[in-house]
Amino acid sequence: MGMAIGRVRPSIEALAAYRPGKGAAQAEQEHGITNAIKLASNENPYAPVPAVAAAIADAASQANRYGDHRAVELRSALADWIGVESERITVGCGSVGLLQQLCLTYLDPGDEAIYPWLSFEAYPVCVKMMGATPVTTPLVDHRFDMAAVADAVTDRTKLVLLATPNNPTGTAVSTDEIGTLLETIPDDIVVLVDEAYREFADPGLGDPVTDLLPRHRNLIITRTFSKAYGLAGLRIGYAITDPEIVAEIDKVLLAFAVNSAGQAAALAALGALDDIQPKIEHILAERTKVVAALTSAGWKPPPAEANFVYLPTGDRTDEICLALERRGVVTRPFSGDGLRITIGSEAENTRFLDTLAEVAGP
Ligand SMILES: Cc1ncc(COP(=O)(O)O)c(C=O)c1O
């Protein structure tokens, strides 16, 4: 290995880069196959509806201009839609952008951020990037152990990161459970409820905006247009929180990171919810089909509350993932634990189920 160029911060030198899900083209090249399908990044299988596609094309024609750094129109539309004041909303470069803003705002070297693990792989990257210390709590039956999260709090804890539904396990916690945590821990700890997959979850789990935000100023809820609204490539996430938190995290938003085409697309999506909702319903119906097929084959997937299913494959995870991939079905392995499979189109889901039956049993 050569000498490092410049004096890289030790926190960055020690960091493993975020690994996105493998693409279909890469799998085709690696295995010398054609017709691979990607069920590895929890994307929406549907292209944007016509009204949204038209708004994107219109924005593209003006791409010589910067977008609105503060996304004023989109914030205000989101505030109306959600039913809160627009001072409580901010928009980021994907919800992962908001996660990074949160870490930049709250974490100094030596501070602690707690999150259950397995969870979203961007959490360790963002926390370690700041020189802060991740404190993880184990899952129980693929679910969060909220008492363990509360017990992990120390006087160095600054953030708690809770993805619900969780990626990769697909399990969710209720607002009652989050409320208990918020009542238990000091209120100078900021709690992120990352609802990237909210639209796929059981509404009976509650809505943190109405159930918790009025009583807890230290709560920040993030949501996204990437998953249910099918705009992953345009990077629009948003947060709902106290206006003071909005003001602080807005300071570290990279200039114009919330791009103009994304803002136009998100606004158009809010105007086209009647066209988008049936697609969400279709993904949910497909999820039911996939879970039923897996269960009747003898697999024991945890309750699936997002647009993917989690298959506990334990020590066989890498082997099964590779066997699927060689047959053109690209999934996301979590070595030694399980495989995450995104719900795709009807044909893709059927192909996954048929291929899995060929390569492995429970
Ligand atoms: C739990 C969770 N949060 C956030 C994100 C990021 O989504 P976005 O596209 O809004 O940055 C993902 C994406 O995979 C996720 O799984």
Indicate if the pLDDT at residue 14 is higher than 80: yes
Least-confidence region, from 19-28, 131-140, 217-226, 319-328: 19-28
41 Cα–ligand 1 center, Å: 10
What pLDDT does residue 3 have?
Answer: 65
Least-confidence region, from 21-25, 55-59, 105-109: 21-25
Q: Which atom of ligand 1 is nearest to the CA of 237?
A: 10
3 Cα–ligand 1 center, Å: 35
pTM of the predicted model over 0.85: yes
What pLDDT does residue 27 have?
Answer: 93
Q: Which atom of ligand 1 is nearest to the CA of 232?
A: 9
pLDDT, averaged across the chain: 96
Indicate if the pLDDT at residue 4 is higher than 90: no
91 Cα–ligand 1 center, Å: 14
Q: Which atom of ligand 1 is nearest to the CA of 165?
A: 1
**175-178-179-185 Cα dihedral, nearest 10 degrees:** -170
**Sorting pLDDT into bands at 50, 70 and 90, what band is 104?**
very high
355 Cα–ligand 1 center, Å: 27
**Sorting pLDDT into bands at 50, 70 and 90, what band is 21?**
confident
**304-361: per-residue pLDDT in tens?**
999 999 999 999 999 999 999 999 999 999 999 999 999 999 999 999 999 999 999 9
Q: For residues 189-212, give the mean pLDDT.
A: 98
**Sorting pLDDT into bands at 50, 70 and 90, what band is 19?**
confident
Indicate if the pLDDT at residue 91 is higher than 60: yes
**Sorting pLDDT into bands at 50, 70 and 90, what band is 127?**
very high
What pLDDT does residue 2 have?
Answer: 55
146 Cα–ligand 1 center, Å: 21
Domains of the chain: 20-47+274-359 (3.90.1150.10), 50-271 (3.40.640.10)
Instruction: List ligand 1's pocket residues with C-beta within 6 A.
Output: 42, 94-96, 120, 163, 167, 194, 196, 224, 226, 232, 237
Q: Which atom of ligand 1 is nearest to the CA of 235?
A: 9
Q: Report whether 286 contacts 349 (CB < 8 A).
A: yes
Q: For residues 274-286, give the mean pLDDT.
A: 98
Q: For residues 57-61, give the mean pLDDT.
A: 97
Q: For residues 115-129, give the mean pLDDT.
A: 97
What pLDDT does residue 7 have?
Answer: 93
Residue nearest to atom 6 of ligand 1 (CA): 96
What pLDDT does residue 336 have?
Answer: 96
196 Cα–ligand 1 center, Å: 5
Choose one of 18, 171, 195, 227 to mutate for the ligand 1 pocket test, by most ligand atoms within 8 angstroms of C-beta: 227
